[in-house]
Amino acid sequence: MIVFEHVGKRYGGRFDALANLDFRVHRGEMVFLTGHSGAGKSSLLRLIMRLERPSRGRILVAGHDIGRLHASQVPFYRRQIGVVFQDHQLLFDRSIYHNVALPLEIRGMDPREASRRVRAALDKVGLLHRERALPIELSGGEQQRVGIARAVVNKPSLLLADEPTGNLDPQLSADIMALFEDFNRIGTTVMIASHDLALIARLRHRTLRLREGRLVADEEAA
Amino acid sequence: MSRRPAAPPRGARTQRTRSSSQLRAWLRHHRAMSADSARRLLRHPIASLLTMLAIAIALVLPAALWLALDSARLLDAELDASATLTAYLESAVDAGEAGRIDEAIAAQPGVAATRLITAAEGMAEFQQALGLDDALARLEDNPLPASIVITPDEPSPEAVRSLAGELEAMAGIDEVRLDLAWLERLRQLAELGQRVALALAVLFGLGVLLVVGNTIRLAVESRRQEIEVVMLIGATHAFVRRPFLYSGAWYGLGGGLLAWGLLALGNQWLAAPVRALAASYGANFSMPHLGLIGSATLLICSILLGWLGAWIAVSRHLSEVRPR
């Protein structure tokens, strides 16, 4: 699903955010990405989302060299990936329902079909009863679940998450991770960047450990 | 990542239904965005109205000048049709001979009509026009010669000039005057006016672009987070641009309608004094109207300017707004 071949990312001509990354994530896998802040987790996710291009090497996602995508193809590439952000990136001027419907609206999906999918996604994260609420009326954990509903409403084959439990207490974090595991169980490839080592250790999935932009460990699920 | 349909024979039909549903989706988004951007404008009615007013004022000036020139052109055509020559007879020519000369001129090719004005008639007209009864009455002799006013078949300057040459060669005619010089000057003035109007239209059109561009820039700035988010989840530039283009077009339409209203108002306001002035010159002159085509042109231009201003502003900012 994801192949990194000698990938490096250098900022400002001197600083190597990522250096010589080589790994492969198979379809249907669930992978954690760990390391201290500044180790390059976010940079790696940004490369996969094609927010940036690698300075060296190449990245294949679903068999396509995404460094070669033309700028006009990038939006269509991004529609195939679901992304959950640490700060949710919800739009505060519209309801939960419309936040989750946004990716479908961008794709131009028929409103009736879209409404069915939005409700299914909200139901999955347990927030169907709040569809008319505004994001500001929701707790942090609920907002994160809205972000997850938005990421999966498109039924992406790849789900990325950047510190999805960053500001949540242990119980809520465990709930969120359980949601990701559910999506992984139905075949979605999931990659989660997190520094919550205790939680990761409990969940027993493959873990890629970064330090100063290098891959220092690739531990299969114990 | 996307699974292709396994059965190739159905490919063509799938493609067709997909493109027609894409077209429907595209139209749906256009409808939604035009309504959404109109609602956003209405949410801040005063600010929107001020922007539209600025556009309207920028449009009114060149439009008014254009209207004025248009009416000058109408006047010009009327003058063209009334272009005449005046042949002044030698003072020795008596009334009988004047009548014969008049007939001879009327028989000339290229002459549509003639009118003989005897010396006495000329004097009477002169007195009436100037209102100098007393001063002229004191003159012992009538200093005016008899004259013949000739209306040519063809009012073009060349035809009139060659006719004048022929008439001047006739016996008994002292001088032929043609009133072309001032007509030509008027035409040159009109030409100058047209160029000024065009230059003004270009300048004020740029002004409209700046007004709309600046307004849209602020709108983009205030929706920056939204733009970043939709680009993160796969929105194309066209998708992001669309609501702003509609806002620009709405501003343009509002500005155009206001400009139209201002022109109509100005027309009303000036109509009475202009009519009085024209009447004092004995002319039948009515205020120029935009008319259907003029109104449509004004509105289309203003909408296009609004749209273009928005396009420039959004495109400039799309390159700056990169998802974090």
A8 min Cα distance to partner chain B (Å): 19
Residue A102 per-residue DSSP state: H
Whichever domain contains A122, its CATH number is 3.40.50.300
Tokens of B208: 């409209």
Which residues in chain A have Cβ-Cβ distances shorter than 8 Å to B233? 78-79, 83, 102-103, 106, 150
d(CA A110, CA A120): 15
The residue type found at B113 is A
With a cut of 60, say whether residue B6 has pLDDT above it: no
Q: Do B226 and A93 touch (CB under 8 A)?
A: yes
If one counts the domains in chain A, the total is 1
Q: Do A102 and B230 touch (CB under 8 A)?
A: yes
Q: What do you get for the CA distance between the two ends of chain B, in Å? A: 25
Bridge pairing between strands A56-61 and A2-11: antiparallel
Q: Do A108 and B231 touch (CB under 8 A)?
A: no
* E runs forming strands in A14-172: 15-25, 30-34, 56-61, 64-65, 81-84, 158-162
Domain with CATH 3.30.70.3040 in chain B: 84-179
With a cut of 70, say whether residue B100 has pLDDT above it: yes
Q: Do A49 and B26 touch (CB under 8 A)?
A: no
A127 min Cα distance to partner chain B (Å): 21
Q: Tell me, yes or no, whether A78 lies in a domain.
A: yes
Q: Do A61 and B1 touch (CB under 8 A)?
A: yes
Predicted pLDDT at B282 = 65
- A69 backbone φψ class: left, alpha, beta (φ>0; ψ -120 to 50): beta
Q: What range defines the domain where residue A113 resides?
A: 28-54+71-219
Give CA angle at A206 (A205, A210), nearest 5°.
125
Bridge pairing between strands A81-84 and A158-162: parallel
Q: Tell me, yes or no, whether A7 lies in a domain.
A: no
What length is written for chain A? 222
Residue B22 is nearest to which of A75, A103, A108, comparing CB atoms?
Answer: A108
CA atoms within 13 A on the CB side of B88: 11
Residue B229 is nearest to which of A61, A89, A105, comparing CB atoms?
Answer: A89
Average pLDDT score over chain B: 81
Residue B235 is nearest to which of A77, A91, A106, comparing CB atoms?
Answer: A106
Predicted pLDDT at B146 = 84
d(CA B7, CA A157): 22
d(CA A155, CA A146): 15
Phi, psi dihedral angles at A135 (to 5 degrees) = -55, -35
**Averaged pLDDT for residues B225-244:** 91
- Count CB-CB contacts under 10 A for residue B71: 16
Bridge pairing between strands B147-152 and B111-117: antiparallel
Asked if A18 and A8 touch (Cβ cutoff 8 Å), the reply is yes
Asked if A88 and A160 touch (Cβ cutoff 8 Å), the reply is no
d(CA A10, CA A71): 21
With a cut of 90, say whether residue A170 has pLDDT above it: no
A65 touches chain B (CB under 8 A): no
Selected residues 127-166 of chain A with any CB under 8 Å from a CB in chain B: 150, 157-158
Q: Tell me, yes or no, whether A205 lies in a domain.
A: yes
A129 min Cα distance to partner chain B (Å): 24
With a cut of 90, say whether residue A33 has pLDDT above it: yes
B235 touches chain A (CB under 8 A): yes
Predicted pLDDT at B1 = 41
Asked if A159 and A103 touch (Cβ cutoff 8 Å), the reply is no
A103 touches chain B (CB under 8 A): yes
Tell which of B1, B322, B324 to mutate to test the A interface (max A CBs under 10 Å): B1
Tell which of A74, A78, A109 to mutate to test the B interface (max B CBs under 10 Å): A78
**Averaged pLDDT for residues A4-26:** 88
Residue A76 is nearest to which of B22, B229, B234, comparing CB atoms?
Answer: B234
d(CA A173, CA B324): 24
Predicted pLDDT at B10 = 42
Q: Do B1 and A51 touch (CB under 8 A)?
A: no
Tell which of B233, B315, B322, B324 to mutate to test the A interface (max A CBs under 10 Å): B233
The pLDDT tens digits of the residues spanning B112-160 come to 888 888 887 887 777 777 766 666 666 767 777 888 888 887 767 777 7
With a cut of 80, say whether residue B288 has pLDDT above it: no
- Return the closest-CA partner of residue B173 out of B97, B81, B82: B97
Which residues in chain B have Cβ-Cβ distances shorter than 8 Å to A90? 229
Residue B235 is nearest to which of A72, A75, A83, comparing CB atoms?
Answer: A75
The pLDDT tens digits of the residues spanning A89-130 come to 899 989 999 999 999 999 888 889 999 999 999 999 999 999
- The lowest-confidence range among A20-29, A181-190, B168-177, B291-300 is B168-177
Q: Do A79 and B24 touch (CB under 8 A)?
A: no
- Return the closest-CA partner of residue A103 out of A78, A136, A67: A78
Which residues in chain A have Cβ-Cβ distances shorter than 8 Å to B225? 89, 91
Q: Do B233 and A157 touch (CB under 8 A)?
A: no
d(CA B155, CA B166): 16
Asked if A122 and A97 touch (Cβ cutoff 8 Å), the reply is yes
Tokens of A7: 């990938």
Contacts of A118-126 spanning 24+ positions with Cβ under 8 A: A118/A149, A118/A153, A121/A149, A121/A150, A121/A152, A121/A153, A122/A96, A122/A97, A122/A146, A122/A149, A124/A149, A124/A152, A124/A179, A124/A182, A125/A149, A125/A179
What length is written for chain B? 324
Asked if A184 and A190 touch (Cβ cutoff 8 Å), the reply is yes
B226 min Cα distance to partner chain A (Å): 6
**Averaged pLDDT for residues B77-86:** 68
Residue B115: its H or E element? strand B111-117
Selected residues 305-324 of chain B with any CB under 8 Å from a CB in chain A: 322-323
**Cα torsion angle, B129, B156, B80, B267, sign:** negative
Report the CATH architecture of B84-179.
2-Layer Sandwich (3.30)
B232 touches chain A (CB under 8 A): yes
Residue A8: its H or E element? strand A2-11
d(CA A5, CA B210): 48
Asked if A106 and A98 touch (Cβ cutoff 8 Å), the reply is no
Percentage, residues of chain B above pLDDT 90: 27
Predicted pLDDT at B243 = 93
Selected residues 161-220 of chain A with any CB under 8 Å from a CB in chain B: none
Asked if B179 and B83 touch (Cβ cutoff 8 Å), the reply is yes
Q: Do A51 and B323 touch (CB under 8 A)?
A: yes
d(CA B318, CA B233): 15
Which residues in chain B have Cβ-Cβ distances shorter than 8 Å to A188? none
Which residues in chain B have Cβ-Cβ distances shorter than 8 Å to A83? 232-233
**Cα torsion angle, B250, B24, A72, A89, sign:** positive
**Averaged pLDDT for residues A30-35:** 93
**Averaged pLDDT for residues A42-49:** 92
Which residues in chain B have Cβ-Cβ distances shorter than 8 Å to A150? 233
d(CA B218, CA B255): 18
Which residues in chain A have Cβ-Cβ distances shorter than 8 Å to B26? 108
Residue B110 per-residue DSSP state: T
B40 touches chain A (CB under 8 A): no
Predicted pLDDT at B8 = 40
